[in-house]
Structure 1
Amino acid sequence: MRLTPFVSACLLCLGAAQASAATPAPTPAAPTTRLDHILLWGHGIDQVTSVMAVKLGFQVRPGRDPDGVANRYIRFSDSSFIELLGITRADPKFDPGMKEDQQALKGGAGSRTFGFRSSSLDAIHQSLQALHYAVTPFFSGPDSAKPGWRLFAFDRAPLSSNTFFIDYAAGYAPDQFDPTNVDDYRVTREHPNSARALSSIWLVSGDADADRRQLEKMGFGHAVPVKLAAVGAKGFCVPVGPTALLALEPDGAGLAKQTIANGGPRILGVSYAVADLERAQRWVERGYERKLVSYRGLSGESILAPTQDDLGLSIEFHAMQPGGSPCTTASR
């Protein structure tokens, strides 16, 4: 069995906190499933922390560094987060999945792994087994006396980027020692750039429809065709609870084509809703010392931070929208 990068990341969290059905049925995805977080490798842990905090205006929380791979957290009020990873010594201890990611990223910055969160973990695991997906056994932590997270991954990735399914015990938060402290919980989710919620994760590959078909088989249907002119991509918006997974491929010249040519399939971008788009824009413009032009994106008025060189992916900020399907306006 191959451990995915997230399993190693969960081991970092440990340090921080010290039968198939007769007829396969679609995975019971909605309404108990949503996108949870990405694993983002930096050129180094201090470099990626600086970019996120100084250039982009996120609050970054401490993690741990047990084996030469440090982690830190950016948490949001919708319960999603970003896990930052960085190598801190010449001989870090990788598991096979982390090593594979580092080889694909050529030792640089970027992301190839993301997670779904669901309160129906057992049902999804059973359904995926019935559909002949190579799912792993369950992993859990931080320890039997103090429940935290529970997850399973895949021995063979079904999508163009690695993924896993996870759920958390009530009150668990890997970035703080006392999750019962309500004030700390609230403050750690307030960001200078006013970011509030994860909207979408953008996968890019040479075949967006292949990812769409796999997602539909896994129980995530209702895909809507999309085009993202800002990055030169087209594909599908797939609703996942209140969030959206974009399965994309290059559409002419642009960032998507450059990304595939330089490093292959990966997470092309992540989109976040902000309470004050003008404030987020001012912060990014100061951080990167350039003016940005807003555009009408899939989630409404948006800006794209020029983070590819620093982070290996794009970060989009957009104004918060009323509730509804995350792919309602995706046909723009």
Structure 2
Amino acid sequence: MRPRLTLSAIALSLGLGSLGLGPPAAQAAAPAPVDKLDHALLWGRDIDQASAVLAVKLGFQVRPGRNPGGVANRYVRLADQGYLELLGITRPDPELDPGMQADQASLHGGSGARAFGLHASALDQAQADLKAQGLPVTPIFTAAADDPDGQGPGKPPRWRLFAFDRPVLSSSVFLIDYAAPRSDPASVADDKTARQHPNGARSLSAFWLLSADAGADKAKLEKLGLAGAVPVRVPQVAAKGYCVAVGPNALLALEPDGPGIAADALREGGPQVLGVSLDVADLDAAKRRVERGYEQSLAGYDGLSGAAFLAPTRADLGLLIEFHAASAKGPCEGVKG
């Protein structure tokens, strides 16, 4: 029997192969079909170990998910509806779809992120717009009618998404939308509680996409309707590239800028989601918590979103996490290349 695919399985199973998009000047960029960042898919070497890192060392609340086919998922949900989805293999013979197999081949059983989602509230229109741009969009996939986390048969599916038959960025990307959540008092209270974190994390600010050619990713983002790139440098990881606004958030298309973290990560793991940026309510309190978790002092710096610090999570999670204070600036506003 063919296993029922979860959201993660479908998203990870799409986008294999390669795509030459041609020069960006060949077509005018379409209006952006997406309205914000949605979530990143983060593989842990072991889901309990990765959950412990997120909870104990970093101070997140990690919420349980499901375990279909020996691939479990858990969540770090944020108040702005963005989130991190943690994935981990829980048995020796997991049911891995082709995308999961490709991710595991890239990660060699280690931790890291190779895929992420963008939110599109007008998903059907976004699919049509991108197809008109000549991009290889897939059909729209939906959660099953008997999804245990949905509202049951006869109700809108909990999520709908489409991806691409061939990659359109250095990391895999998909577009997703959700049905209205359950509105009963218990579900509303549970959802509110799930988005409150001891470290004060409130919202998702940016994904850091790392490849050998940031300019190529910039051109591909323009094909997705995400134009207006601003040159940027991230000296904390020795990287340079572009900042591209996605609604209230940003995508950083980065490449190494000499020896350093970015060059090491690319050499060891290839193209990837190198990091995420998160807004926290109290930067000093978050920094003290992470310093206690890692038993080391951490340097603060003036980052792309203002005052920030970088948690030393790459060895644990294969993903860097930047915490920053609230900023009045818009995404990519005032950055310097």
Q: Same fold (TM over 0.5)?
A: yes
**1:114 & 1:201 partners in 2: Cα distance?**
9
Q: Which residue of 1 aligns with 2:23?
A: none
Matched ranges for 1:153-302 at <5 A: 153-171=163-181, 181-302=187-308
SS in 2 for 1:181: helix
List gaps (5 residues or longer) in structure 1.
Answer: 12-23
- Equivalent residues, number: 311
Quote the residue 1:57 is aligned against: 59
Counterpart for residue 42 of structure 2 = 40
1:7 is displaced (CA, Å) by 4.5
| Paired position in structure 2 for 1:134 | 136
Q: For residues 188 and 134 of structure 2, what CA distance do their matches in structure 1 show?
A: 42
Alignment partners' CA distance in 1, 2:213 and 2:29: 23
The answer (yes or no) to whether the contact 1:299–1:329 under 8 Å persists in 2 is no
What is the CA-CA distance between 1:129 and the residue it aligns to? 1.1
- Deviation string 1:76-124 (CA, Å, 9 cap, x unpaired) is 0000011000010111110000110110111110000000001121121
SS of the residue 1:115 aligns to: strand
> Deviations for 1:220-245, whole angstroms, at most 9, x for unmatched residues?
00100000000000000000000000
User: Which letter maps to 2:31?
Assistant: P
Q: Which position in structure 1 is the counterpart of 2:148? A: none
Three-state SS of the structure 1 residue aligned to 2:299 is: coil
Q: Does the C-alpha gap of structure 1 residues 306 and 9 become closer, same or farther in structure 2, counting only changes over 3 Å? A: farther
Q: 238-247 or 134-143: which moved more?
A: 134-143
The letter of the residue matching 1:163 is V
CA contact (8 A) 1:304 1:316 kept: yes
Deviation at 1:170, TM superposition (A): 1.1
Amino acid paired to 1:169: A
Residues 26 and 127, structure 1, Cα contact 8 Å, conserved in 2? no
Question: 8 Å contact 2:228–2:244 — kept in the other structure?
Answer: yes
Structure 2 equivalent of residue 19 of structure 1: none
How far residue 186 of structure 1 moved from its aligned partner, in angstroms, is 1.2
Q: What is the alpha-carbon root mean square deviation over aligned residues?
A: 2.0
Q: Equivalent of 1:116, from 115, 118, 130?
A: 118
The verdict on how the C-alpha distance between 1:28 and 1:123 changes in structure 2, with shifts beyond 3 A counting, is farther
Question: Which whole-Å deviations, capped at 9, do the CAs of 1:149-204 have from their partners, x for residues lacking one?
Answer: 0100011111000000000011169xxxx786322221110100000000000000
Q: 1:145 aligns with which of 119, 143, 154?
A: 154
Q: Secondary structure in 1 aligned to 2:181? A: coil
SS of the aligned residue for 2:68 comes to coil
* 8 A contact 2:6–2:143 mirrored in 1: no
User: Structure 1 length normalisation: TM-score?
Assistant: 0.89
Deviations 1:14-43 (A, max 9, x none): xxxxxxxxxx8744326x611100000001
Percent identity, please: 56
Question: Which residue is 2:109 aligned to?
Answer: 107
Distance 1:299 1:127 in 2: 31
TM-score (norm 2): 0.88
Q: Distance in 2 between matches of 1:106 and 1:37?
A: 23
Contact 2:299/2:309, CA 8 A, preserved across alignment: yes
DSSP-derived class of the 2:176 partner: strand
Report the CA distance shift for 1:312/1:40 in structure 2 as closer, same or farther (over 3 A): same
Shifted more, 146-155 versus 297-306: the winner is 146-155
Provide the C-alpha distance between the structure 1 equivalents of 2:310 and 2:165, rounded to a whole number of angstroms.
34
| 2:325 corresponds to 1:319 | yes
